[in-house]
Amino acid sequence: HMKGAIFDLDGVIVDTAKYHFLAWRLLAEELGFVFTEEHNERLKGVSRTRSLDILLEIGGMEFSEAEKLAMADKKNRLYVEYISGLNESALLPGVKEYLNSLRARGVAIALGSASKNAAFILDKLNIAGLFDAVVDGNKVTLAKPDPEVFQTACKELGLQPGECVVFEDAEAGVAAGKAAGMLVVGIGKPEVLKEADLVVAGLHEL
Ligand code: B16
Ligand code: MG
């Protein structure tokens, strides 16, 4: 019996991956190498600093911590510029309907995202008011597949792990949900999200 639902943001509620991609690609271009959409798959669900490390590994480049901090900042400024135009129309199919149906059934709702821009995005999408708790990259230190983000969300809802269901599109996120002892609904392809308890193409299917 589900008492709490914990949602990942990028890939579940909104497709911000394309904007992350545009910003990272521009940074790679400035550094003199090509960053493809296939490369970008490796950054999904991964924190900003870890994403930069992967990007630089792909480009075969090394920088100091200070230089990397400046690059991550620059990427984020570009990204925030891209997403500043987001509105309700960017919500993935069925999101609003599903969140409202959960609320009507008395299920508590939380966000469990790696993004430090999560609150800004929820606000732009006009759905911030539907969440009882928002746990994002500003609140947790350990990245998925570590279960910290979902454990914190569950605690903030005042629930036990066994009472929560996680909705995730990334392999690392599914692993994090399972490690937290929660049921996990994968959003995407069953052949990719093998560890999930159930896989659907999107929230519109629920
Ligand atoms: P930011 P999620 C993740 O969101 C994205 O999938 C990932 O590509 C991004 O690097 C990460 O957030 C950090 O985002 O730079 O905005 O802090 O899937 O965990 O909702
Ligand atoms: Mg995601």
Please tell me the number of the ligand nearest to residue 45's CA: 1
Lowest pLDDT segment from 11-20, 40-49, 74-83, 177-186: 40-49
Instruction: Judge whether 10 counts as a catalytic residue.
Output: yes
pLDDT of residue 44: 87
Q: Band of the pLDDT at 140, cuts 50, 70, 90?
A: very high
Please tell me the number of the ligand nearest to residue 170's CA: 2
Q: Which of 10, 15, 136, 146 is catalytic?
A: 10
Alpha-carbon span 202 to 94, nearest angstrom? 7
Summarize pLDDT for 90-117 with one digit per residue, the tens: 999 999 999 999 999 999 999 999 999 9
Which atom of ligand 1 is nearest to 76's Cα? 15
| Best mutation site among 8, 15, 20, 152 for ligand 1 pocket (most ligand atoms within 8 Å of CB) | 20
What's 143's DSSP letter? P
pLDDT of residue 45: 85
pTM, two decimals, is 0.94
Most distant CA pair in the chain: distance in Å? 52
Summarize pLDDT for 22-81 with one digit per residue, the tens: 999 999 999 999 999 999 989 988 899 999 999 999 999 999 999 999 999 999 999 999
Q: Are the CB atoms for 158 and 10 separated by under 8 Å?
A: no
Instruction: Please tell me the residue having the least CA distance from ligand 1 atom 13.
Output: 115
Q: Are the CB atoms for 152 and 139 separated by under 8 Å?
A: yes
Question: For residue 1, is pLDDT > 80?
Answer: no
Name the residue type at position 76: N
Among 146, 89, 148, 79, residue whose Cα is nearest residue 116: 79
Instruction: Please tell me the residue having the least CA distance from ligand 1 atom 14.
Output: 115
**What percent of the chain stands above pLDDT 90?**
96
Instruction: Judge whether 197 counts as a catalytic residue.
Output: no
| Best mutation site among 19, 37, 43, 48 for ligand 1 pocket (most ligand atoms within 8 Å of CB) | 48
Alpha-carbon span 16 to 18, nearest angstrom? 5
The continuous run of DSSP H or E covering 6 comes out as strand 4-7
Alpha-carbon span 201 to 5, nearest angstrom? 17
- Could you give the 3-state DSSP secondary structure of residue 127? coil
Please tell me the number of the ligand nearest to residue 118's CA: 1
